[in-house]
């Protein structure tokens, strides 16, 4: 009988972070694309500033000498290799982890990731102008989607698969809450009609950034409300980027690791996943919107951070989130690299 060789802690951590970095790349490409498509004339700086706030990059952005102009934000996220949250920076993080994981990856996974890395490293300032930017963002999204498809078709379903999936789901849920938080606060114009037009525009931005526009339109009423959109992004069990969907899948994966592979150390992580699921469902959305969506999403993000920490402490080599600056809490430097 073939023996299960097990999985090294550093490899579990590497798979977890490789998935998070690649998920971050796709999400950032979506946000950049919809920000350019829906920026309001005269309010371009505010639209692009929202992108900085979603990633909590205000300090790094200013330290690197940029100002809140569309051109600077685009360069910060698409050209600046020194910015760890940029597309090149995140992809470099994924590739660095992939090097240590080469024995676990298929040839197709490794080849595609290297080709994608080479493509991103060749982005020029001219690629950030006008319609070229939308084409570039499409290629970046397709690069991540190609990686996801190849991984789905070729990565062996042992413990490593589960850590890869958990990392991707945690990052996806975190990005959904960040995007919803920042974009929701932008819907505050004074006049009633202006407010309604702005709301529809911003909800379109949010839904398209979450790759949920067409699914939402299938489900929603013609005159949908803020509560409808928030429900879709937080609680719809069939929406792949909804926080509830991600929390349930994480909970199931942790349970599989315990039952099928005997990894019993994840008790705290399982409890954290259950608490996250309960938090998403416990209060009526009307109450959450009335009392403050921002504060509620802050609590959800804290739960996601605590869940990631519990997974790290249980399964990885040297998880030390407290050593990471607060502004970079979601781009922790893992020792597996």
Handedness of CA 181, 187, 190, 193 (dihedral sign): negative
CA distances from 219 to 2, 190, 313 (A): 48, 30, 40
Proportion of the chain above pLDDT 90, given as a percent:
65
| Mean pLDDT, residues 15-35 | 95
Determine the angle formed by the axes of helices 130-154 and 9-38, rounding to 10 degrees.
150
**Residue with more model confidence, 92 or 36:** 92
| Mean pLDDT, residues 282-295 | 91
- The per-residue pLDDT for 321 is 54
Residue 46 has pLDDT above 80, yes or no: no
- The per-residue pLDDT for 29 is 95
Q: Model confidence over 166-221: pLDDT tens digits?
A: 999 999 999 999 988 887 766 544 445 455 556 677 787 788 888 888 899 888 87
Q: Supply the pTM of this predicted model.
A: 0.89
Residue 113 has pLDDT above 60, yes or no: yes
Q: Model confidence over 260-272: pLDDT tens digits?
A: 999 999 999 999 9
Q: Model confidence over 118-129: pLDDT tens digits?
A: 999 999 999 999
Residue 240 has pLDDT above 80, yes or no: yes
Q: Model confidence over 292-309: pLDDT tens digits?
A: 899 999 999 999 999 999
- The per-residue pLDDT for 198 is 60
CA distances from 316 to 62, 254, 268, 313, 325 (A): 34, 14, 14, 6, 20
């Amino acid at each position: 009988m073939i023996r299960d060789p097990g999985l090294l802690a550093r490899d579990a951590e590497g798979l977890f972070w490789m998935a998070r970095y690649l998920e971050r790349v796709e999400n950032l490409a979506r946000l950049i694309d919809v920000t350019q498509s829906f920026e309001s004339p005269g309010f371009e700086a505010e639209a692009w500033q929202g992108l900085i706030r979603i990633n909590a990059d205000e300090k790094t952005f200013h330290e690197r000498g940029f100002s809140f102009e569309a051109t600077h934000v685009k360069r910060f996220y698409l050209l600046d290799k020194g910015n760890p949250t940029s597309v090149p920076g995140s992809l470099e993080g994924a590739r660095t982890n992939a090097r240590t994981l080469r024995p676990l990856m298929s040839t197709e996974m490794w080849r595609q990731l290297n080709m994608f890395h080479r493509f991103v490293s060749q982005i020029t300032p001219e690629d950030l102008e006008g319609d070229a930017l939308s084409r570039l963002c499409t290629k970046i999204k397709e690069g991540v989607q190609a990686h996801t498809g190849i991984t789905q078709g070729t990565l062996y379903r042992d413990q490593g698969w589960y850590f890869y999936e958990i990392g991707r789901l945690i990052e996806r849920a975190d990005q959904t809450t960040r995007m919803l938080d920042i974009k929701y606060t932008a819907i505050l114009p004074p006049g009633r009609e202006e407010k309604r037009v702005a709301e529809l525009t911003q909800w379109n931005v949010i839904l398209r950034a979450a790759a949920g526009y067409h699914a939402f339109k299938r489900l929603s009423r013609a005159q949908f409300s803020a509560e409808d959109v928030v429900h879709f992004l937080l609680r719809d069990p069939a929406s792949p980027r909804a926080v509830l969907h991600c929390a349930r899948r994480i909970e199931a994966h942790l349970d599989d690791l315990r039952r099928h592979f005997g990894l019993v150390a994840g008790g705290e992580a399982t409890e954290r996943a259950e608490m996250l699921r309960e938090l998403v469902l416990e209060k009526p959305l009307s109450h959450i919107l009335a009392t403050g969506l921002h504060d509620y999403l802050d609590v959800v993000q804290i739960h996601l951070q605590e869940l990631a920490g519990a997974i790290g402490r249980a399964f990885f080599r040297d998880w030390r989130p407290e050593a990471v600056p607060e502004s970079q809490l979601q781009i922790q430097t893992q020792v597996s690299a």
